[in-house]
Structure 1
């Protein structure tokens, strides 16, 4: 994940999750992106009674990324970040 432009990657992420509110106060693009992915996988943007499991959310996010018009490189970077966050969540 060296030499990744997280400013651009965050913009690409926003382009496929266009109505997603991202908390940007005092954080770097990398921190904002990682937190957004974590919230997405934990389904924190959904009412607690209708939340889906983490693996179902991972599958849904992966499918959305793969079917997007993003470049192959961007898709791979986003998929890799989702997998990294998923592993981090499972360690908690």
Structure 2
């Protein structure tokens, strides 16, 4: 039984909980939703994304995220498949 539990624990250690996250619309998501969905984006960076969006308007491309302090090209690349860019309801 202990061998089974060790094997299970070791197997789970290699599964990222973020691997099962749904894509996130960075134009409508809360800071918490962004932080939960994107790798390398903690609460502070997620809040910076929301603040940028509130000050400058909706994101029009994934690359525009690089304009947010603390977000670089490596972060963009590892999250590209999880980021959705859609206008918020009522925006065009």
TM-score scaled by length of structure 1: 0.31
More strand by share: 2
Report the TM-score when normalising by structure 2: 0.31
Q: Flag the structure with larger Rg.
A: 2
More helix by share: 1
